[in-house]
Structure 1
Amino acid sequence: MERNNKILLIEPPFYRLYKDTHSLNRYPLSLGYLAGMIRKETNWSVMAYNADFSSHSEPVKVSYLASTGFYNYLNNLKDLSGRVWGEIRSAISEYKPAIVGISAKSQNFASACIVAKLAKEINRQIIVIVGGPHPSMVGSDVLNCSDIDVGVRGEGENTIIELLNAIDAQKDFNDIKGIVYRKDGHINENAPREFIKNLDSLCFPHENVSEVLKDYEKYPVTAFRNIFATRGCPNSCFFCGSHKIWSRKVRFRSPENVVKEIKSLQKMGLRAIHFDDDTFGINKQYINNLCNAIITHCPGLKWSCELHVNLVDEQTISLMKTAGCYSILIGIESGNNEILREMRKNITIEKALSACEIIKKYGIELQAFFIIGFPQETEDSLNDTIAAMEKSKCDVIVYSIFTPYPCTEAFEFCKDNGLITDDFDVSLYNHQSPANCFCIKINPERFRLLASKIEKIVDKKNSIHRKKRVFSLNTIRKIQNLGVGKSFQKGIRLFTGN
């Protein structure tokens, strides 16, 4: 009998659970890396399916004031009659995979469990493998979901190859590092896997996209604009679990390898890319080398990134601007130095505001991350954060309510201080959940009132920026329609990143 050697990789829905026309209009890099390695190293057929992408998507105006989206999300986790779940059933039924691989973060893990359930309802013989940040954090607890057969911890590119080879040879999983799995009614946790030393050895995520991505033709080209230059983060922020996935030892792709990927993206029609690294560049020497490589080999490229405050200085930002950087996201998080110390951000608000000034001086769009509701938060520290939002003069505020992710130090701190109970359900809490309140010194009712005040400020500021951007783009299009010269049009594209 012919063996079924088909694997379906799925990004579970999250944004679509808030509203069906919301959409993750990007190709998840995790699926791209895995699909590339599977095609390169095995004889398995692979399909990548972003179930959080909607071809019926409409422009989304993000508002932090509407709680209906969160209630829709909760209802869609209970009611499986919605369109998105029907689409997932159809995708699995039509492709008929032997394996379903799901990439799960903590915020979409409840959705990942539903995808696993649907796969098993269609065919109990399907092997369900879950990888991504969440199983890397919680380990064997991922198998508390009875429909998951294998959990992958850490980087999955080499692990998935060994799993597929073992399944092909009908071998046991005992020697496969980096997994937890069921066997004879017991849960086994194997030794951790070593991190990939040479990142240049990996396939480019978009390399096989037209062959592997379901509904590829429906995606905008900008869905493929994201790229990693590094893995790992040397910082030790109290609330972050990145080190459990990538480690604190940073591994760098060579600038030559990054540029090679960028050039292939440019051939696809992309004029702008985004570096998805936790922190772009990590150190100034690497930033210098990468920027100079981009200047030499990718003229005209526009790009954006997330940058640590401590890396911002005149020389670095000037070089980044010359290399085509048009937008920078920085993590200010709080306007209060005591809260920043508790977060272990290794910055002060004064240094953060100085970094903002430098970025704005060079005409680069500034987006700033702010978190409210840290466990030690007070009303005074919240007021300091409101003041910092204004003083930063950022173009966009990326606003979050503190969310303790399982197996982080922050999560254990919240448990020790009675802010989290043993029946904590991660699906009920995410960065915009109105249920979030993990403050020792502010009660939930008062916190919700204060948070609503801040959300109005954020919403107003971001709305103004959206209107300015729409006006600018409409003006640009009118000018382009008048038939102005090519050199001017090129300048416009450089300005907009389009």
Structure 2
Amino acid sequence: MNICLIQPKTVGYDNFPPLGLGYIGTVAKVAGHSVKIIDLEIEQKKYADLIVEIKQHNPKLVGITSTIRSKKEALKIAELLKDYNVVFGGPQSTSEPEEYLKRKTVEQIKTFVLKGESEKTFLKLLDYLDEKISLEQVTNLVYKKGEEVITSEAEPIIKDLDTIPIVDRSIFNLPRYNSKFFLKKATNIITSRGCPFRCSFCFHDFHGKIYRRRSAKNVIAEIEYLYNTFNYRAFIIYDDNFTVDKQRLIDICNLILEKKLKILWRCLSRVNVLDEYLMRLMKKAGCQEIAFGIESSSPETLLRINKMIKPEESAKAMSLCRKVGIVSKAYMMIGFPWETKKMIEDTIDFACQILPYDAQFSVLTPLPNTEIYDQTINMGYEIDRDFDFTRFDPCFETENFTKEEIVTLQRKAVKKFNKAKLIYTIKHPYSHFAFYVAREYAQETFYKLKKLFSSLKNQLFARA
């Protein structure tokens, strides 16, 4: 069977393959189906060209992945494909499947939603379309029967992630992905699913609430495949909690060293799981950057969002990164419904004091079907119904701050943090921190000059 899988375009994308579609496409290819992935994040096709390309592949099923930021685009694409069976997947269609079943199609054409991870259920849907099983046998499926919305039996989560095939990167248009990490050719990998924590701003129902991880040997097998087959030398690990299983982390690092893999990598971690020994081992195995979800300096806020960390643990983690020579990034969040301006100012000051290498100050966006969404509503605050989730603007205000004031505080945070970063660099010119800052500025200058010379070159040729 011919299948098309589509990644809709969004705002602020990163230049990496959509691995969710990669896993689905790989299991379908292994099962003997012909798979075509169209990544509109990098290909930027017009709708007319997209339809032509889909027609050329003549698929019996088109799969479209959807996050909250790509929802409108995903639904728009589906509306243009009235002659094709469409199945939606991804976190947003899992969160609100009924919203994705409204498209109008020609007779005999169906719309489906597959909830959660779909390596097994997608193959069942293909078997249904091949008339091998009944529709009722397809698990995790949401569809319409007349005007009634039907949700099929739930599929158990995949406990052993090693049983899932490693993503076949040949199904992507790899030359179009040109990401670099510390000047090395880079790609992305996922080594775990689920989350053992319950942060109130996260949607937990896509990969389930049970933390599962691939074995160290399985992870290294994928790295070696990408290293030897495609010449990747840097890896962005997409896991929400790469470092939670300390023994697996140690095993992965030791295998990288044992196999003499000269790679660089980046991961996400909690601030309260790493010590100096682990950080030094990670650094030795090629870890260049760790991102941490710090969110706030307020113990009250950390408690109310179920973060289960303390401000002093965040300060210690940033200090250890500077000591070991690993770039640290802190994800900070402002604009919680109970926050005062003083609490926000304290969080900004805290980020400047603990001084990660980089900090991102996000304005809280309460996503539907999350605890923080319910908390905000229950406190009596109205969330904009037509909020554009492709933007990072505030979507509610309280008696303590207006939307405009939150935006002003966000800008102030960035300006104040950059000033603190510059002061530290001047005071510690021979530190790892200063080295990374200098290299960052050098790279930015290089790319600006390169762009300028390219523009001048094009103008000269145009005149000639």
Describe the superposition over 1:3-46 as per-residue Cα deviations: whole angstroms up to 9, x where unpaired.
xx21110111102xxxxxx75411011011011000012x3211
1:6 maps to: 2
Match of 2:389 among 429, 444, 450: 429
Cα distance in 1, alignment partners of residues 421 and 149 from structure 2? 48
RMSD of aligned Cα (Å): 2.8
Give the Cα–Cα distance (whole angstroms) in 2 for the partners of residues 324 and 178 of structure 1. Answer: 39
Q: How many Å separate the matches in 2 of 1:315 and 1:216?
A: 37
CA contact (8 A) 2:340 2:400 kept: yes
- Find the residue that maps to 1:88 and give its secondary structure: helix
Aligned counterpart in structure 1 of residue 286 of structure 2, from 324, 342, 363: 324
Q: Secondary structure at the match of 1:97?
A: coil
Q: Does 1:182 align with 2:124?
A: no
Aligned mates of 2:186, 2:125 — CA distance in 1: 28
User: What displacement does 1:377 show?
Assistant: 1.5
Q: Secondary structure at the match of 1:468?
A: helix
Q: 1:475 to 1:323 in 2, by over 3 A?
A: farther
Name the CA shift for 1:23/1:461 in 2 (closer, same or farther; >3 Å).
farther
**Shift of the alpha carbon at 1:297?**
2.1
* Matched AA of 1:37: V
| 2:224 counterpart letter in structure 1 | K
1:234-275 CA-to-partner distances (Å, cap 9, x unmatched) read: 01101111x311222211211111111000111111111111
Q: Does 1:167 find its partner at 2:167?
A: no
Matched, 1:130 2:88: yes
The whole-number CA distance in structure 1 between the counterparts of 2:101 and 2:418 is: 39
The aligned counterpart of 2:430 is none
Residue 131 of structure 1 aligns with an amino acid whose one-letter code is: G
Contact 1:396 1:461 in 2 (8 A): no
| Equivalent residue runs for 1:97-116 within 5 Å | 97-116=59-78
- SS class of match (1:46): strand
2:23 is aligned, of 12, 24, 33, to: 33
**1:468 aligned partner, one-letter code:** A
Alignment-derived partner of residue 333 in structure 1: 295
Paired residues for 1:266-277 under 5 Å = 266-267=227-228, 268-277=230-239
Q: Which has the higher contact order (CA 8 A, sep 6+)?
A: 1
SS in 2 for 1:309: coil
1:257 corresponds in structure 2 to 218
Matched, 1:143 2:104: no
Residues 224 and 361 of structure 1: CA distance in aligned 2, closer, same or farther (over 3 Å): closer
Match of 1:448 among 388, 407, 422: 407
CA contact 2:298–2:311 (8 Å) conserved in 1: yes
Give aligned-pair identity as a percent.
Answer: 29
Unaligned runs of 5+ in 1: 16-21, 56-82, 478-498
Matches of 2:252 and 2:319, distance apart in 1: 24
Counterpart of 2:59 in structure 1: which amino acid?
Answer: P
Asked if the contact 1:259/1:297 (under 8 Å) is kept, the reply is: no
Greater Cα shift, 353-362 or 405-414: 405-414
Matches of 2:242 and 2:271, distance apart in 1: 11
When the two structures are aligned, how many residues end up with a matched partner? 427
**Aligned pair 1:306/2:306, yes or no?**
no
Question: Does the CA contact (< 8 Å) of 2:7 and 2:64 recur in 1?
Answer: yes
The aligned amino acid for 2:42 is F
**2:355/2:421 contact within 8 Å kept:** no
TM-score, scaled to structure 1:
0.79
Mapped to 1, the partners of 2:243 and 2:96 lie a distance apart of 28
Q: Give the 5 Å matches for 1:68-79.
A: none
Q: Distance in 2 between matches of 1:398 and 1:471?
A: 18
The code of the aligned residue for 2:131 comes to A
Q: C-alpha distance in 1, partners of 2:445/2:96?
A: 50
Q: Could you give the per-residue CA deviations for residues 107-149 of structure 1, whole angstroms, max 9, x where no partner exists? A: 21111111111222xxx2x011000111222243432455781
Task: Return the match for 2:379 from 417, 425, 435.
Answer: 417
Alpha-carbon deviation of 1:398? Answer: 2.4
Residue pair 1:376, 1:440 contacting (<8 A) in 2 also: no
The verdict on how the C-alpha distance between 1:458 and 1:50 changes in structure 2, with shifts beyond 3 A counting, is: farther
**Letter matched to residue 33 of structure 2:** W
How much does 1:163 deviate?
0.2
Distance 1:280 1:138, change over 3 A: same
SS in structure 2 at match of 1:52: helix
Q: Is the counterpart of residue 469 in structure 1 residue 439 in structure 2?
A: yes
Shift of 1:439: 4.3
In 2, the alpha carbon distance for the partners of 1:476 and 1:128 equals: 45
User: Is the 1:321–1:362 Cα contact (8 Å) retained in structure 2?
Assistant: yes
Structure 1 residue 450 displacement after superposition: 2.6
Contact 2:276 2:320 in 1 (8 A): yes
TM-score by length of 2: 0.84
